[in-house]
Structure 1
Amino acid sequence: MDVKIKNLSLTYGDFTAVKNLSLEIDNGESLVLLGKSGCGKTSTMRCVAGLEDPSGGSITIGDTAVVDADRSVNLSPNKRNVGLVFQSYAVWPHMTVLENVSFPLRMKKAPKSQIRAKALETLELVGLAHVAHKGASMLSGGQMQRVALARSLAMEPAVMLLDEPLSNLDARLREDLRVELRRLQVELGLTSIYVTHDQGEALALADRIAIMQDGRISQLATPEETYRRPASASIAEFLGVSNIFKVQPASPLDMRVRLAEHDLEVALDTADAMLTGDDSICIRPEHVRVASGPAPAGPNTWNGTVLVSVFQGAYARCTVQVDNGPAIDVHADVRDLAEFHQGDRVHVRLDPHHVRLLPQHAPVHDETVPVPVPQGV
């Protein structure tokens, strides 16, 4: 079912966790709330679940208003038909796997003849039918989280709510379960709200990503748009972009800016770029090229010295101190950077097309007003 959140607010005393937030989630859509700790993402999800009492606004699931502050409507969690999967595994250790998954069906007073069949069918879906009669305490962490997921799926929820369910697992298992969660969400057509601070999870699991800052949505976009076109320097920094530098006007006629802390000009390739007075340029490390020898003539080509070169498995990371400029991170194929060592003289090149000019902060997102997104790279 679709979910409509309108002007949602949540306060704790003098602190406002969610500030007048509006958002619409389509039927079958996977929306990820992404942000730092304390940004309001979990509080928003808990309001949808019925675990918090909003201070204002409304939430509608399908045709049912589950929250409407103006009409004093606030349905209890058990009347909302939402599935919940938390960071902790939250399985009952004294029950078998089958009993854990059957529990919500018993609470809904489903016919006994259907409970076992539905529970086994759901365990088959998550790949745990072979451990149905094992004690839940005998399972691995990944298996326990699958049991928690199966328990929520068995009740056929209108909306699935997941609060950082993979954060307690090791890296390899997290990656495997990301793929599994996405498969199930698409295969079952589940409307889901997923909360995380991990951008990798967000990119893997979302149809759209809502980036939250200070209780508000700062950017709402597809994973590709979010990755390629962050709406502000603060968002780009949160997404892991290391090359972010404050700038000031240099030569607007030929689209150049000057780094605020270095005597270095950078050429842009965005015809409609506008300086707001508190701007930065954003350069993804994978867009920088490094090579031996002095810099040839051309825009954004600078001499420098290798500070460090580190093997990272799928790629190598190199940091180059640009002459009269900043230290720039470079991500490249291991073979391209294998020859470089600390102290080597090199030059770096950057296509102006890959330089993003961004304001420090994005405007507050409003579902009713399209938010302009800076031009892509």
Structure 2
Amino acid sequence: MAELVVSGLVRAFDDVRAVDGIDFTVRDGEFLTLLGPSGCGKSTTLAAVAGLDRPDEGRISLGGTVFFDAASGVFVPPERREIGLVFQSYALWPHLTVRQNLEFPLKLRRIGRAERARRIEDALGLVEMTRYADRYPHALSGGQQQRVALARTLVYRPGLLLLDEPLSNLDAKLRERARTWLRHLQSQVGVTTVYVTHDQAEALALSDRIAVMNGGKIVQLADPRTIYDHPSDAFIADFIGSSNFLCGTVLGSDGGTVRVDLGERLELNAPSPRPLTPGTRVRVSVRPEQIGLVTPSDANGANVFAVEILERTFLGAHNTLEVQAGESRFRVECRAVPEGNHIHVHIPENAGIVFPQAADN
């Protein structure tokens, strides 16, 4: 196993930079996720690491081996990189059994029969598919095919595992179970892993760290909790999980807290990671689950608002309320739906994050 280092990576298509000078390191045995919306450059980055696409600039190395270096003209073809790659499509050979699918990459590497048999047994045991060794892919479920595809990749013991949205073909319930199983498998094997997805829940559940991408750049690289609780900009706050954005104007500040005028004599106190002068237009990001309901007797103090319920949505484990206070409309999560259409809510002062509002917003 070894760490992956990507530096100054650029890939352009005509005048569009799909990957625009990104840098990141995946530590030995780490699970790093490239997360972002469609077109952000995450799959292009993965293809460059795999050797399926040649970048225009930059350098890629795994341990002491350089896979690509634009400056010196080095480009190692994918078949010589000895890395594992699992696609969204499992790409199993339909005419081969599970055992024969796993045997194929070992034969290519001229591994002896006895060693092949031992490795296949080990790999199938890891993914709990030993009893299906003699079945053909068409006789397996989607989840079982996914496990076979991973076993086929792990059987030749790659130094790096690349996963390109491997769970996207599974139904929601199976996908949730597969996340837990995949994370356990990766930590058990200890292989350095790069995972590509646009699913925030997958990224948060699986990753040691997440690289959030937008417009070909990495806009934040941190552990899942930091990404969720302390997004570095409004795009990340909006993309990761669910956020309300309350727009207003800074009235003043006290230390790291600012007072925001939301209109109609409503004020919100919220922390700001950057100094802001009075009059600055801002957007305050608040997660729906951080907003609490309060009784009329407790409806006093800072950040308590009288709101009108516009819509109620039942989601099983919780309910979502669409509410309005003055000019501000936002969502609140709660276990039980209150009676009536007029209630009070409290936004904890440390719940919001203040971002300066772009001129075109």
| TM-score after normalising by structure 1 | 0.89
**Is residue 2:347 matched to residue 1:347?**
no
1:325 paired with 2:322, answer: no
Give the direction of change, closer, same or farther, for the CA distance of 1:147–1:360 in structure 2 (3 Å limit): farther
Partner of 1:303: 306
**How many residue pairs were aligned?**
353
Q: Secondary structure at the match of 1:156?
A: coil
In structure 2, the residue matched to 1:373 is none
Amino acid at match of 1:252: S
What amino acid maps onto 1:316 in structure 2? N
Contact map agreement 1:231 1:358 (CA 8 A) in 2: no
**Aligned position for 2:283:** 280
1:257 aligns with 2:256: no
1:278–1:23 distance in 2 versus 1, CA, 3 Å: farther
Describe the superposition over 1:34-91 as per-residue Cα deviations: whole angstroms up to 9, x where unpaired: 0000000010011000001000010001100000011110100011111000111211
Range moving further from structure 2, 221-230 or 290-299: 290-299
Output the CA distance in 1 between the equivalents of 2:357 and 2:270. 17
Matched, 1:358 2:355: yes
Task: Please tell me the residue identity of whatever aligns with 1:179.
Answer: T
The 1-side partners of 2:300 and 2:270 are apart by 16
| Residues 1:216 and 2:213 aligned together | no
What's the counterpart of residue 87 of structure 2? 86
- Cα deviation for residue 359 of structure 1 reads 4.3
Distance in 1, matches of 2:357 and 2:213, equals 15
Contact map agreement 1:294 1:347 (CA 8 A) in 2: no
Which amino acid is 1:71 matched to? S
Cα distance in 2 for partners of 1:275, 1:232 equals: 15
What's the CA shift for 1:292? Answer: 4.9
5+ residue gaps, structure 2: none
Q: 2:316 aligns with which of 310, 313, 316?
A: 313
- Partner SS state of residue 71, structure 1: coil
How far apart, in 1, do the equivalents of 2:264 and 2:160 lie? 51
Cα distance per residue 1:76-123 (max 9 Å; x no partner): 001111100011121111110111111111111111221122112101
Contact 1:316-1:331 at 8 Å conserved across structures = yes
Counterpart of 1:68 in structure 2 is 69
Deviations 1:248-272 (A, max 9, x none): 221225730123x7653211245x6
The 1:295–1:308 alpha-carbon spacing in structure 2 relative to 1, beyond 3 Å, is farther
Tell me what 1:372 maps to: none
The CA deviation string for residues 319-359 of structure 1, in whole angstroms up to 9 with x for no partner, is 2211x131221112x2xx23335xx1111111112121124
* 1:106-142 Cα shifts (integer Å, max 9, x gaps): 1111112211221121011101001000111111111
Query: Which residue is equivalent to 1:106?
Result: 107
Aligned to 2:29: 28
Segment drifting more, 27-36 vs 113-122 = 113-122
Offset, 1:293: 3.7
Cα RMSD between the aligned structures? 1.8
Counterpart CA distance in 2 for 1:31 and 1:163 is 12
SS in 1 for 2:5: strand
**Cα distance in structure 2, aligned partners of 1:58 and 1:157:** 20
Q: Which amino acid aligns with 1:153?
A: L
1:158-197 equivalences under 5 Å are 158-197=159-198
**What percentage of residue pairs aligned between the two structures are identical?**
40
The change in CA–CA distance for 1:278 and 1:36 in structure 2 (over 3 A counts) is farther
Q: Secondary structure at the match of 1:234?
A: helix
Deviations 1:168-212 (A, max 9, x none): 100111111111110111111110000000010001111000000
When structure 1 is superposed on structure 2, of 291-300 and 78-87 the one drifting more is 291-300
Once structures 1 and 2 are overlaid, which stretch shifts more, 77-86 or 244-253? 244-253
State how far apart, in whole Å, the 2-side matches of 1:80 and 1:293 are: 65
Unmatched segments (≥5 aa) in structure 1: 362-377
